[in-house]
Structure 1
Amino acid sequence: MSAADGDAVLYTVTDGVARITLNRPDRLNASNGAMSRGLTAAFSRAAADPLVRVILLSGAGRGFCAGADQQVLDELSADPDAPNSGSGGLRYDGLSLLPKPVIAAVHGACAGIGLAMACAADIRIAAQDAFFLAPFASLGLCAEGGLAWSLARLMGPGHAAEMLMSARRIEAQEAFGKGLVSHILPSEGFADAALAYARSLAAHAPASFAMIKRQLREGDGQNFEAARASALNLTRATLQSEDFREAIRARQERHAPGFAPVVAEFGPPVSGS
């Protein structure tokens, strides 16, 4: 990534966890082209790194992401046919294809395209001060970034419709109750707690993560019998895998297992904002 893009997105690796941080705190991490390009580069880097087992996405400063940068919205309002300066090639759908778990650690504001970003992750955890907002109806826009699909899948179609059509602020506790987030953690020490959670996942088998993500992805288009048959085939294969033998050996010998790494490509970029 370029120096400018690198400033908008920070990247570090700690104990098998790639920490990708939205880094425009003076703009509440509002998304623009530099951030989108930086995220694409960071996810590609994490996908290809054999040392990375889990990806933790978070925001610097007071919030996760306040949505699209106002400058981007102003430019599109002035000329809807102009090239979208907020489009940096980030493909939100690509996160489900990436074989490594993506955790969105949300504190403060998570709005608009930032909400789409969080919903594209596999797991969402929230600080007590987190809130979620889909303001599109109040701006005369459609639900962007695949949110109509992802919110309905996470919350159910009724809750998704209410959130999208009311454009109201959803607090962390309500988001938890409706299935949008998996855990609520104290705001104090949230970054450290989120990293500890990501590290706990990183102890597991990368190949299992890849297979589970594939099963979850394909499950939408399968009936139960097809899902069961697919799981049976995968079970037969994994029972013969070195990862399974290593897990049993490590349990018997009482030490941490040494699972094989997984590397991948993030996928070709598509337009996004």
Structure 2
Amino acid sequence: MTTIPEIRFDITAGVATLQLCRPAKRNAVTPGMWDSILRLLETASAREDVQVLVLKGSGGAFCAGADLSAVKAADGSVAQEYRNLAIDGINAVATFPVPSIAVIDGACVGAGCSLALACDVRVASGNAFFSVPAVRRGIVYDRASIERLDRVMGPGRAARFLYTAERLDPAEALSAGLIDDYSGNVDEAAERFATAVALGDRATLIATRGLLRAERWPSVAV
């Protein structure tokens, strides 16, 4: 598949790996990156040999969120075109038909949290940290991500996280329900998960994932 330099994509032994590769900006996502994510996932979702999706960053960061130079229009308002593209990209992860895992090292901020929340499973390194500073930047966090956050953290904890833009370390994120585990070797932990999932029957994985998603997010398109 054709990719741009900021996105690496590979399918090996049933595992589709999408890696954000803009380390100088902690993998902040540009419009071109969102477009590439959309195209790649659309193509990969139809491949019968794909059993699991792995989403990760590079250079010691998962994703620092949106590229702020693209988020704000010239008049200071939020660029609606970028917002729509970002929501479509996040939804492409959420609706990918097979199980997905976010492998989180370093910054997981803003839209990075949205990408992680769109995955079924989230594992983090000891260096990971989590924050959604949208309220400080005049940006309303998207509805689907708010509902996912509410479901995993609970309404009170999610409200505190969003209203204060607090920063959580891995232990705090695990306690809050934002992640499922953290590890000294997060890549090894993710590989174990992906390898185990790849052994499953694809049709059964898709059906099971659909039931889990319908139970957890009944009112939001997933």
TM-score by length of 1: 0.73
Q: Distance in 2 between matches of 1:211 and 1:162?
A: 34
Structure 1 position 110, deviation (Å):
0.3
Change (3 A) 1:203 1:170: same
Match of 1:34 among 32, 35, 41: 32
SS of residue paired to 1:146: helix
Structure 1 position 145, deviation (Å):
6.1
Match of 1:120 among 104, 115, 118: 118
The letter of the residue matching 2:39 is A
Find the counterpart in structure 2 of residue 109 from structure 1.
107
SS of residue paired to 1:21: strand
Find the counterpart in structure 1 of residue 73 from structure 2.
76
Find the counterpart in structure 2 of residue 201 from structure 1.
197
Higher relative contact order (CA 8 A, sep 6+): 1
Q: Distance in 1 between matches of 2:178 and 2:128?
A: 12
The answer as to whether partners of 2:42 and 2:92 remain within 8 angstroms in 1 is no
Q: Distance in 2 between matches of 1:60 and 1:78?
A: 33
Structure 1 unmatched runs, 5+:
223-266, 268-273
Identity over the aligned pairs, expressed in percent?
30
Alignment pair present for 1:212 and 2:187 = no
Q: Distance in 2 between matches of 1:25 and 1:94?
A: 23
Structure 1 position 81, deviation (Å):
7.3
The letter of the residue matching 2:106 is G
Find the counterpart in structure 1 of residue 187 from structure 2.
191
The answer as to whether partners of 2:52 and 2:100 remain within 8 angstroms in 1 is yes
Match of 2:57 among 39, 59, 62: 59
Change (3 A) 1:220 1:114: closer
The answer as to whether partners of 1:56 and 1:102 remain within 8 angstroms in 2 is yes
Structure 1 position 125, deviation (Å):
0.8
Q: Distance in 2 between matches of 1:154 and 1:99?
A: 20
Alignment pair present for 1:15 and 2:13 = yes
Change (3 A) 1:46 1:69: same
C-alpha root-mean-square deviation of aligned residues, in Å? 2.3
Find the counterpart in structure 1 of residue 165 from structure 2.
167
The answer as to whether partners of 2:106 and 2:129 remain within 8 angstroms in 1 is yes
Structure 1 position 149, deviation (Å):
0.6
The answer as to whether partners of 1:22 and 1:64 remain within 8 angstroms in 2 is yes
1:14-69 deviation line (CA, Å, top 9, x unaligned): 22111100111111100111110111122123212222100000001120000111
The answer as to whether partners of 1:125 and 1:185 remain within 8 angstroms in 2 is yes
Q: Whose Rg is larger? A: 1
Structure 2 unmatched runs, 5+:
none
TM-score by length of 2: 0.88
Q: Distance in 2 between matches of 1:221 and 1:137?
A: 24
